[in-house]
Amino acid sequence: MTSLRTFQNEIDEIHNREQAKQRAQALLDKEREKENKHPHPLKGKTKEDASADPSTTLNANGGRASMQEIEDRILSLLLSKTPTDHDLARDMLAAILTQNNGEYVLRIGQQPPQDELFSGDLTDDTNGWSGVPRSVQEIDILRDEITKTVEEVGGKTSVLFEIKHGHQRISLLLRLPPPNVSLTPEVRCAVVGNVDSGKSTTLGVLTRGGLDDGRGRARVGLFRHKHEIETGRTSSVGMEILGFAPSGKAILPNNTNPAGRDKLGWEEISTQSAKIVSFIDLAGHERYLKTTLYGLTSGAPSCVILMVGANAGLIGMSKEHLAIALALSVPVVVCITKIDMTPPNVLAETIKQVVKILKSPGCRKSPVFVKSIEIAVEISTSFGAERICPIFQVSNVTGEGLDFVRTFLNLLPSSEGDSEKFSLDQPLEYSITEVWSVPYVGTVVNGIMNAGRVKTGDPVLLGPDSNGNYQATVIRSMQRKRADVTTAEAGQCVSFALKRVRRAAVRKGMVLVNKTETPPKAIRQFEGQVLILYHNTTLQKNYQAMLHCGAVRQTVRIIGMDHPQGVLRTGDRATVQFEFISHPEFVKEGMKLLFREGKTKGLGVITKLL
């Protein structure tokens, strides 16, 4: 029996290896194409040149220590009275902001040791404080100087938190407004949890600004169908957005009329925002598990927010949702709701249960209770990489804990900034997750740019169809968060209107790729390494299940396996050959897959296309 953790590490290795191979191959093809066009091309910067470039030395990935030195240098230059020092500090701040996609948290004063801060044992006598101690006067001078300097480069500064006793410190958010909507950073969060755990209510309160009345008033505006309003249950993949202004303030419609429409539409929020948080509101009921699974695999979320009702605990589908998030290696955030109506002993029991599950061998997460703005600021940048799981306790009726959640969301790194998942210098690859027919516009598709960049008017290929062929089309127009844009880049979620394409010719899971002589091959059969998470009988040849792989969702049949007995049980791992039942799909080696029949049954990675 293979443990889930070992298997996940192995499939991550396979995924990264295949991705690196595909990227190298694409770059090689690009170079060859250039060489054919221009026999003696001027070579661009090599990696070595780039590392010698002074502007690249400010990379945030260089670790907190080197950034600490740069920050101290900037602060000492700003405290100097010489004008040239101020100019140098301004240039360094501008470089840091450009390197970090227009956003940076600058800490002034001594910083607490992270472990003690997260565990809640922090006192002024704790050992391990780092950074330069500052007096209240110095902090005030530096705050004014930074605000002035950042304004000179066109940005805004806001105070995240300030502590004026003991070890005096302040954290500032420096932010540049994006040049246009097409470049606004976006964070995608999938919201999951059991029925009645408060998912839609919490989203309603976070994105609309008004509090709930305790009877579900806040969620009414989020429902898309009549039956959802009647039953109070989400059955479709809903999308909500929360915008943050350059000043760090949340952009809220301030509309407390529950049934009325918002005063601010998506378009206005998008144009005013310096960062957008998109919530994929997924269904909690078991009946809609396929919708939830599709939202998690196709939406490429940066994090999963697991809602737990304090009065009910981690029950039913919540455990299934948590297992899926862990299987897909997506960072998890837990939000315990309804703390205003839950008796203290029941709340304590729920917290105990959540902590126990998170620390269990299957999860191996370190729970951190977010009880101050300082913890929310510090945890937002580090939780994904360090297996930390933030836990928020909120009430949508009294508003308790919501500020911590908003601060945390405001500082999360953008989804398109994840260069491991999305690559700009690769050929175009866009996977379709939704299709509509819009009057006077035609066929419109929504999806995620996995690689490359594209602009309106570009000729592209759409496919594969049921015969594995690709059809030529042109991108007529595009929108991002309902605002018109002319370009799109890897990692972004955008909608395209396609020329001369019938609605019936498009289905979810298709891709748009660059128009070339040789379109990618449509795959009917493939081989994968799989681990059976749970199955009450055995899996054998000709077993059929629903496969989720990126935006692809189709029934597959097992046509072969390398297991000695020819059958698979819970906990077994094997190399399995699959075949798509109805039509070929666009899949690549290294893509992760989940397959299920009812609840989730298996997890794996594609290792070979047959």
pLDDT tops 80 at residue 573: yes
Fold: same for 4-21+523-609 and 181-417: no
Q: What is the pLDDT of residues 483-510, one digit of tens each?
A: 899 999 999 999 999 999 999 999 999 9
Average pLDDT of the residues in 204-222: 75
What is the structure's pLDDT at 46?
41
What is the structure's pLDDT at 226?
56
What is the structure's pLDDT at 201?
87
What is the structure's pLDDT at 212?
80
Q: Which two tokens stand for residue 130?
A: 């780092």
Q: What percent of the chain has pLDDT over 90?
A: 47
Average pLDDT of the residues in 456-472: 93
Tell me if 201 sits within 8 A of 396, measured CB to CB.
Answer: yes
Of 129-133, 291-295, 318-322, 421-425, the poorest mean pLDDT is in 291-295
Q: What is the pLDDT of residues 343-363, one digit of tens each?
A: 999 999 999 999 999 998 878
pLDDT band at 55 (very low <50, low <70, confident <90, very high): very low
pLDDT tops 90 at residue 563: no
Please enumerate in sequence order all residues whose Cβ is within 8 A of that of 46, keeping only pairs 6 or more positions apart, or say none. Answer: none
Q: Which fold has domain 4-21+523-609?
A: Elongation Factor Tu (Ef-tu); domain 3 (2.40.30)
Average pLDDT of the residues in 449-474: 94
386 versus 84: which is more confidently predicted? Answer: 84
Of 92-106, 247-261, 455-469, the poorest mean pLDDT is in 247-261
Average pLDDT of the residues in 142-146: 93
Q: State phi, psi for 539 to the nearest 5 degrees.
A: -105, 130
What is the structure's pLDDT at 44?
41
Q: What is the pLDDT of residues 29-53, one digit of tens each?
A: 878 877 776 654 444 444 334 333 3
Q: Which two tokens stand for residue 256?
A: 């407390």
What is the structure's pLDDT at 219?
66
Name the residue ranges covered by the structural domains of the chain.
4-21+523-609, 53-175, 181-417, 429-514
Of 208-222, 260-274, 393-407, the poorest mean pLDDT is in 208-222
Instruction: Give the Cα separation of 476 and 290 in Å (integer).
Output: 32
Helices 199-208 & 402-411, crossing angle to 10 degrees? Answer: 70
What is the structure's pLDDT at 32?
80
Average pLDDT of the residues in 174-189: 91
Q: What is the pLDDT of residues 584-593, one digit of tens each?
A: 999 999 999 9
Please enumerate in sequence order all residues whose Cβ is within 8 A of that of 149, keeping only pairs 6 or more positions apart, or say none. Answer: 78, 86, 89, 90, 93
- DSSP state at residue 299: S
Coil vs helix vs strand at 456: coil
Q: β-strand 388-393 against 332-337: which pairing, if any?
A: parallel
What is the structure's pLDDT at 66?
77
Instruction: Give the Cα separation of 431 and 586 in Å (integer).
Output: 9
CATH 3.30.70.100, domain 181-417, yes or no: no
Please enumerate in sequence order all residues whose Cβ is within 8 A of that of 248, keeping only pairs 6 or more positions apart, or say none. Answer: 156, 158, 160, 173, 175, 410
328 versus 527: which is more confidently predicted? Answer: 527
Predicted model pTM:
0.87
User: Quick one: 243 exposed, middle or buried, by C-beta within 10 A (0-12, 13-18, 19+)?
Assistant: buried
What is the structure's pLDDT at 60?
39
Identity of the residue numbered 348: A
User: In the CATH scheme, what architecture does the domain 429-514 have?
Assistant: Beta Barrel (2.40)
Of 8-17, 205-214, 562-571, the poorest mean pLDDT is in 205-214
- Mean of the per-residue pLDDT values of the chain: 85
What is the structure's pLDDT at 600?
62
Q: State phi, psi for 397 to the nearest 5 degrees.
A: -95, -45
What is the structure's pLDDT at 222?
61
Instruction: Give the Cα separation of 427 and 27 in Å (integer).
Output: 9
Average pLDDT of the residues in 201-223: 76
Average pLDDT of the residues in 207-226: 69
